[in-house]
Amino acid sequence: MEKTQETERDNGVAAVTQQQTFKDGSICGYDSLHSLLSANLKPHIFQEVSRLLLGLNCGKALELLSLPESVKALSSEHDFDLQAFRFCADKEFLREPRVVRVGLIQNSIALPTTAHFSEQKRAIFQKLKLIIDAAGASGVNILCLQEAWTMPFAFCTREKRWCEFAEPINGESTQFLQELAQKHNMVIISPILERDVHHGDTLWNTAVIIGNHGNIIGKHRKNHIPRVGDFNESTYYMEGDTGHPVFETAYGKIAINICYGRHHPLNWLAFGLNGAEIVFNPSATVGELSEPMWPIEARNAAIANSYFVGSINRVGTETFPNPFTSGDGKPQHADFGHFYGSSHFSAPDASCTPSLSHHKDGLLISDMDLNLCRQLKDKWGFRMTARYELYAEMLSRYLKPDFEPQVVSDPLLHKKPS
């Protein structure tokens, strides 16, 4: 942990300010908010705070999962965070439990952005293989990687040389993961920078879904592209054209809401209407921009749509060779800021796991009984009580050029004084 202190002198007396910057990306020296609270609160207070922050699953705190000692040893040896939990559902008389083991991987880049591109790619493959093998040894059925995992998140720079990392759907990274998917009988979601070689080499921000037999099930392209500060990604790719597909796999129906799509409630809704049971949100986002929103949006989506959500964010600070600006009045800089990790799962009953580390690579594993999705639909009746015909009529009117908002004004607002 590296701290910086500012020292001021007043009448020859040294005064040390309390401002401290944790350059390693930790939270006041702790891996996560959960570990900070655990270390600083009395056990009974921490238990109650955890209940308020994380909720209860079937009336109790999430159970911890036991993982193989070999996986724990890998985590310790290679210094990646490893956590595992279990989401339960109520026992049913007519349906057996539908338990699936799901994993999320968050990671920093493996080499500086100044390294040769081929070396950067080779190094990230080596780093991820170890953690993917750890997931496989833990019995993970579905695994999701972070947004654009094969490369630095260079879309802030607006330099076109980073387009060299783009690859076709059946490219090098897919082939690499196909072997691992088959080896571990695991579905893998691989978010990449796609080059569509059949349509003019157009670039897309894409998630490739690889089946547990090593086959390519399909792809989904990012629906919403940010134009916020450094996140001006439309320099490289535009809005996707694949709609809101749900992929039926050997382990359940899954969907991928890539990064910025989490800010759009209707995007979450569409995946739910198509029958998703688990929606993954592979992301790359920094603390100054979005951290207060991070624990809220995915959890709210899980509640509103009665499905599980897996939220993944990369970690670390990626420094680029050439400083850049983003038209927001800030001075030129060479990095986005700190990618704060904090990957987590959310459930339809409003419970969620603690987050992975704020600054370290990590593997988060969870057992999920997918029966919980329908149980919460029955309990809350969100689908039954929704007024889709009203929403559809409103959206239809909104899309017309002559749309006028339905506003009823107080007549006294416009009455002239007598």
Q: State which H helix or E strand residue 43 sits in.
A: helix 43-54
Q: Starting at the edge strand that comes first in sequence, how are the strands of the sheet with 247-249 ordered?
A: 247-249, 252-256, 278-283, 308-313, 344-346
> Residues 147, 194, 297, 318: which is the catalytic one?
147
Whether 156 is catalytic? no
Q: Of 356, 344, 273, 282, which Cα lies nearest the Cα of 307?
A: 273
Q: Of 62, 104, 100, which Cα lies nearest the Cα of 351?
A: 62
Instruction: Catalogue the E-assigned strands of 177-245.
Output: 187-196, 202-210, 216-221, 227-228, 231-232
> Residues 144, 156, 259, 352: which is the catalytic one?
259
Backbone angles phi, psi at 373, to 5 degrees: -60, -55
On whether the CB atoms of residues 238 and 205 are closer than 8 A, the answer is no
Longest CA–CA span in the chain (Å) reads 84
Strand 278-283 with 252-256, pairing: parallel
Q: Of 26, 58, 35, 72, which Cα lies nearest the Cα of 354?
A: 35
**Could you tell me the CA-to-CA distances from 25 to 67, 81, 157 in Å, in that order?**
27, 14, 22
Structure-block tokens of residue 73: 């040893």
Which residue pairs, CB below 8 angstroms and at least 24 apart, start in 62-70? Answer: 62/86, 62/87, 62/351, 62/353, 63/88, 65/365, 65/366, 65/367, 67/138, 67/365, 68/137, 68/138, 70/137
Q: Of 215, 278, 285, 274, which Cα lies nearest the Cα of 242?
A: 274
Structure-block tokens of residue 210: 């690889």
> Residues 121, 127, 219, 222: which is the catalytic one?
222
Q: Of 97, 69, 66, which Cα lies nearest the Cα of 84?
A: 66
Whether 404 is catalytic? no
Strand 278-283 with 308-313, pairing: parallel
Whether 352 is catalytic? no
Residues with a catalytic annotation lie at 147, 222, 259
